[in-house]
Structure 1
Amino acid sequence: MLAVKKQKSDYVSIKTILLLAVPAMIENILQVFIGVVDTYFVGRLGAEAIAGVGVTNLTMNVYIAFFLALGIGTTTVVSRYIGAEDNEKANHAVKQSLIMALLIGLLFGSINLIFSRRILLLLGAEYGIIEYALPYFLTVAVPSVFLCVNMVLSSALRGAGDTKTPMKVAIVSNIINAILDYILIFGVFSFSGFGILGAGLATTTSRLISVFLLIKKINSNGTKINILIFEQWRIDFEMLTSITKISIPAAVERLIMRSGQLIYGGMIIKIGTEAYAAHNIAGTIETFSYLPGMGFGVAAATLVGQSLGKKKENEAQRLGLMSYLLSTGFMIVVGAIFYIFAPFLASLFTKDESVINQVVQVLRIIALFQPFLCITLVITSALQGAGDTKFPMYSSLIGIWGIRVLGVYILCMKLGYGLVGVWIAYAMDITVRGVILMIRYIKGRWKNVSIS
């Protein structure tokens, strides 16, 4: 009888996790697809246009680190209050997150507007590229507040257990972005189009529409959170402190990873053009292995937070581990595809045999370490869902700077292992980080983290 009950409980848990994770996976795929569509259309304008978009995205990636961190704080706090069936506090937390999103977005937007040329120069853009990139930069980076609000609203819905709405909004956003890209870049009928400026307008318009759709959904009947715009809003410093306490370590963790990538990316350039090309191709393909982990990470963060809100600490731990195991199954399949079809996948991006051989070697290294990569994605999200954002930050500092950057320097610069050495350092990083994170999770000290 007990065995039957346990089987039924496991079945319900698996179903719950999949209902949260699959829409989140699809949403992540759609986010990647937006970038692919933009690159496709802008690429038809020429190399300067691609460079202009690329240098703008370097800036946006820094801002997105802060936006994502605020989203993590929002998911954590909202899921905890939803689990405790305190919808009023959950609504209040969303409002405070939105106030912070508006302040951060407007601050970054103002900096972009005032120092646009200096920022582009600092990123290494030549004067010719700056003149070409400026229209896109001003129409995407300056109104970045819409992206920040978009990410906070999506995070709030995920914290409430709704991953379908962000997915549906991402579908609409993709369609609108693609249509507007074509119309505003190249023009239709007698309208001649705006070139790269049109690409920026398309991106920002699709983000603005996404914000409108998310607010409409949140304020509709049947949702667990509600943020009526016409109600009186007030700043609650205690709630803002709770969200910030969770968000800041998550932001620092992202910056640790970004800065480390810049440093060892510079080392890879020194190896040679072919190695750098192979590294970028392998990294692009590897992105698809992240998607299951990110999707199940959303499920883990939501369910861990809600279970802790219900005071069910053991259930929180069980659901986090179950999310990891399900995600590992998906990622092992992806790893097997990488290993078996590595030559074919590499040939989709280049016909250079030397580059293909290097990509194949890298993809087969990546394939073998998918379970550890899965830990760094899902278990990190589970810890963050519990409000334990400091430990993943410390583990990233050790892994990225103490192992990956140092490993790339020793294996590539000193011992001459080339690109294989880079990805061996990567494998060492995710293995050590994965083990550290799993030990932390199993020990369960995160169960006692307070969000207030």
Structure 2
Amino acid sequence: MNPAVPGAPPRPASYRRIAALALPALVVLAAEPIYLLIDTAVVGHLGAVPLAGLALGGVIMGVAPLIGAVLAYGTTARAARRFGAGDRAGAVAEGVQGTWLALAAGLVLVAAAQFLAGPVAGLMGDDPAVEAAAAEWLRVAVLGAPFLLIAGAGQGWMRAVQDTKRPMWFVSVSFLLSAILAPVLVYPVGLGLVGSAWANAVAQAISGALFLLALRRERVSLGVDWPLMSKQLVANGDLVVRGVAFQVSTFSAAAVAARVGTTALGAHQIGMQLWTFAFLALDAVAIAAQALIGADLGAGRPEVAKASAKRLTIVGLGYGTAFLVAVLVSLPVLPGLFTTDEGVREQLGAIWPWLVLLLPIAGVVFALDGVLIGAGDLKFMRNMTVVAIASGLPFTWLTLVFGWGLAGIWSGIAVFMLVRLGLILWRLRSGDWAVTGAERS
């Protein structure tokens, strides 16, 4: 919240306040992709087939983080407005209902994966050995899904009340333990690829349990509130459509990479994990934006919210540029960290230019995503994402026709990001997103 000065008008969020919210969120957002990068490096040294199996299984498992993001962002968007209107208990109550939704969705995912892991891997893959490895990994990794989703809902209400420090500790502790477990279970214990799945599930279980304990300490009812939950389901519907569109794009890229070849799929896994790490780390600015913009609009301060959005855009651009520099400096050593397979390393050469050049664009896009999600402008976010993905997907699919390889797949990602940037800047300029009130009508 802005510092209170008697008689002075409210001011936009300062860069210091943005940083105070974004930096702890950065640790939370970076923890899982850092673990996944470690996991990729550990599995990568088992060979091309286990690495490709992890790639395929990880894409399918991506449904769980997608639902977790919907729960986190949907909860933040609603709860931040209540917090801004002075109703902290109401903000936490949104988190309670989000947690119930998380538990239900997680249990459905666990049951579905036990039956569908093999068929879905077979549908996406093009190598029986890779498909079998992916299904075996997925059936174990999905056991952590209920806890992953509970952690997503927990982060949502905590961000809304502008508490980003406790989530930082919850997530950091759990994934630090998992990063230690992964190499131990894969190599000395001898579980191979499945060892990485068990480490993943353990981390998510610990994190989810910590968020449940935090919710229990709040002085609000922990029972199911059907009217409130139904409002969340309606509001989250737009985020679900948006998330499904993302998954169509991700599934398509992995399926095309699998048909390019096993080494291409392995390289795509490395590239996507680096991209995931970058965009989740860059999303820290979006987390600050959700909390600040939601609170300002909930308190009836649209002009302050618009001024804060401009500052968040500047922060996002600077942050993305810093990532570009960091990746450029690291390029000489990055391939060797993840694989010793020469075929995979050669395929990585097609990814690096796209990955590097997209980072400043991503910094702006993700910051403004946070602004519009914090404003509850979810219908626009849904439509914008569908249009952007529809613009990029043809490049991915035509790769199989024209033999463009990984460069074609990643050019599709670039088109998606550029269209997304143009549409979101247009929306920000219009000002139509800045609707005030404890709930967006």
Question: 186, 199, 215: which is aligned to 2:212?
Answer: 215
Query: Shift in Å at residue 329 of structure 1?
Result: 0.7
Residues 1:434 and 1:227: Cα distance change in structure 2 (over 3 Å): farther
Query: Shift in Å at residue 282 of structure 1?
Result: 4.7
> 2: distance between equivalents of 1:424 and 1:249?
27
Instruction: Report the counterpart of residue 417 of structure 2 in structure 1.
Output: 430
Question: 418, 432, 435: which is aligned to 1:445?
Answer: 432
Contact 2:41 2:338 in 1 (8 A): no
> 1: distance between equivalents of 2:327 and 2:190?
41
Residues 1:20 and 1:114: Cα distance change in structure 2 (over 3 Å): same
Give the letter for the 2:225 counterpart.
I
> 2: distance between equivalents of 1:278 and 1:102?
34
Contact 1:246 1:388 in 2 (8 A): no
> 2: distance between equivalents of 1:359 and 1:40?
14
Instruction: Report the counterpart of residue 316 of structure 1 in structure 2.
Output: 305
Give the letter for the 1:308 counterpart.
L
Residues 1:246 and 1:376: Cα distance change in structure 2 (over 3 Å): farther
Aligned pairs for 1:193-272 within 5 A: 198-220=195-217, 226=218, 231=221, 233-237=223-227, 239-267=228-256
Instruction: Report the counterpart of residue 3 of structure 2 in structure 1.
Output: none
Aligned pairs for 1:292-307 within 5 A: 292-307=281-296
Residues 1:113 and 1:308: Cα distance change in structure 2 (over 3 Å): same
Contact 1:338 1:363 in 2 (8 A): no
Contact 1:68 1:251 in 2 (8 A): no
Give the letter for the 2:212 counterpart.
I
| Matching of residue 335 in structure 1 with residue 324 in structure 2 | yes
| Matching of residue 381 in structure 1 with residue 382 in structure 2 | no
> 1: distance between equivalents of 2:245 and 2:95?
27
Give the letter for the 1:152 counterpart.
A
Query: Shift in Å at residue 208 of structure 1?
Result: 2.0
> 1: distance between equivalents of 2:290 and 2:327?
28
Residues 1:333 and 1:246: Cα distance change in structure 2 (over 3 Å): same
Give the letter for the 2:241 counterpart.
V
Question: What's the % identity of the aligned pairs?
Answer: 24
Instruction: Report the counterpart of residue 57 of structure 1 in structure 2.
Output: 58
> 2: distance between equivalents of 1:193 and 1:424?
39
Instruction: Report the counterpart of residue 223 of structure 1 in structure 2.
Output: none
Instruction: Report the counterpart of residue 94 of structure 2 in structure 1.
Output: 93
Give the letter for the 1:215 counterpart.
L
Contact 1:289 1:335 in 2 (8 A): no
> 2: distance between equivalents of 1:433 and 1:376?
7
Q: Secondary structure at the match of 1:446?
A: coil
1:223-274 superposed Cα distances (whole Å, 9 cap, x missing partner): xxx266xx5613322x223222332222221221221233355556666778
Any unmatched runs of 5+ in structure 2?
1-6
Query: Shift in Å at residue 328 of structure 1?
Result: 0.8
Question: 393, 414, 421: which is aligned to 1:405?
Answer: 393
What is the RMSD of the two structures over their aligned residues, measured on CA atoms? 3.7
> 1: distance between equivalents of 2:51 and 2:350?
29
Q: Secondary structure at the match of 1:448?
A: coil
1:358-379 superposed Cα distances (whole Å, 9 cap, x missing partner): 8567544554454432232111
Aligned pairs for 1:111-126 within 5 A: 111-124=112-125
Give the letter for the 1:394 counterpart.
N
> 1: distance between equivalents of 2:287 and 2:426?
20
The higher-RCO structure (CA 8 Å, 6+ apart) is 2
> 2: distance between equivalents of 1:183 and 1:427?
37
Aligned length in residues: 432
Contact 1:112 1:142 in 2 (8 A): no
Residues 1:44 and 1:278: Cα distance change in structure 2 (over 3 Å): closer
Q: Secondary structure at the match of 1:445?
A: coil
Query: Shift in Å at residue 172 of structure 1?
Result: 0.6
Aligned pairs for 1:25-44 within 5 A: 25-42=26-43
Contact 1:242 1:451 in 2 (8 A): no
Aligned pairs for 1:143-158 within 5 A: 143-158=144-159
Q: Secondary structure at the match of 2:364?
A: helix
Residues 1:76 and 1:115: Cα distance change in structure 2 (over 3 Å): same
Query: Shift in Å at residue 380 of structure 1?
Result: 1.5
Give the letter for the 1:256 counterpart.
A
Instruction: Report the counterpart of residue 380 of structure 2 in structure 1.
Output: 391
> Normalized against structure 2, the TM-score is what?
0.82
Instruction: Report the counterpart of residue 69 of structure 1 in structure 2.
Output: 70
Residues 1:80 and 1:64: Cα distance change in structure 2 (over 3 Å): same
Query: Shift in Å at residue 50 of structure 1?
Result: 4.5
Contact 2:296 2:302 in 1 (8 A): yes
> 2: distance between equivalents of 1:73 and 1:142?
24
Query: Shift in Å at residue 317 of structure 1?
Result: 1.9
Contact 2:59 2:250 in 1 (8 A): no
Residues 1:206 and 1:232: Cα distance change in structure 2 (over 3 Å): closer
